[in-house]
């Protein structure tokens, strides 16, 4: 056994014995907070209170999505290559039709999880529905591709339901657009 493997094994044992999942995730959240204050807060603050609030809201939202879908990341890095990569399930609604697990709940939670993304994105970028669909799809695809690296499984159903959630968020944004623009205008002053 080479030195790297031995070190990796010690890290994995220490990690399992001494760190709970929440502690591991806390390290990631701390890293996200440092990134926010180091790279984004000052820039968004200069752009105005409205930009600071909406961009910070999106940043916090994305942090929560990462918490529920990928974390812990930092403490998992040493073990990423020590397990078998689980290929993404490419059968749409397979678990639902097979009666496995609580699939209806998972489908609804995946839709709900991406509604804020579809709602906030057009406020930040001032783009149309197709832009929102594309970025929701890409955000979800990134999560689904990365999940197997952190001993989770990617699923085509999640990709589709997340994208539907982004579309619903955009629809909600569109319905309330005049009110949202008025609120943003008030914060901008």
* Residues 29 and 55 placed together within one structural domain of the fold: yes
* Residues 131 and 150 placed together within one structural domain of the fold: yes
pTM equals 0.84
Q: Is the pLDDT of residue 148 over 90?
A: no
What CA–CA distance (Å, rounded) separates 170 from 176?
A: 10
Query: Which region among 4-13, 57-66, 102-111, 113-122 has the lowest average model confidence (pLDDT)?
Result: 4-13
Percent of the chain whose pLDDT exceeds 70: 89
Structural domain of 36: 1-82
Q: Which of 45, 64, 82 is the last residue of a domain?
A: 82
Q: Are 74 and 23 spatial neighbours (Cβ–Cβ below 8 Å)?
A: no
What is the per-residue pLDDT for 79?
A: 79
What is the per-residue pLDDT for 51?
A: 93
pLDDT confidence tier of residue 188, bands split at 50, 70 and 90: confident
What is the per-residue pLDDT for 107?
A: 95
* Residues 44 and 122 placed together within one structural domain of the fold: no
Q: Look-up: residue for tokens 């490419």?
A: 90
Q: Which of 38, 56, 82 is the last residue of a domain?
A: 82
Nearest 5°: phi and psi at 178? -60, -40
């Amino acid at each position: 056994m080479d030195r790297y493997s031995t070190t990796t094994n010690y890290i994995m044992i220490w990690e399992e014995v001494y760190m709970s999942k929440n502690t591991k995730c806390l390290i990631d959240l701390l890293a996200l907070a440092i990134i926010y204050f180091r790279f984004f807060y000052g820039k968004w603050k200069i752009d105005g209170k409205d930009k600071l609030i909406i961009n910070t809201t999106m940043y916090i939202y994305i942090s929560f999505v990462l918490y529920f879908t990928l974390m812990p990341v930092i403490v998992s890095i040493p073990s990423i290559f020590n397990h078998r990569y689980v290929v993404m399930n490419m059968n749409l609604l397979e678990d639902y039709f097979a009666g496995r697990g609580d699939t209806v709940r998972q489908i609804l939670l995946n839709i709900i999880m991406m509604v804020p993304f579809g709602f906030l994105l057009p406020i930040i970028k001032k783009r149309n529905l197709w832009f929102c669909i594309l970025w929701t799809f890409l955000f979800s695809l990134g999560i689904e591709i990365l999940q197997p690296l952190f001993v989770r499984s990617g699923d085509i159903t999640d990709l589709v339901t997340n994208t539907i959630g982004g579309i619903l968020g955009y629809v909600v944004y569109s319905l309330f657009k005049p009110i949202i623009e008025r609120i943003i205008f008030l914060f901008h002053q």
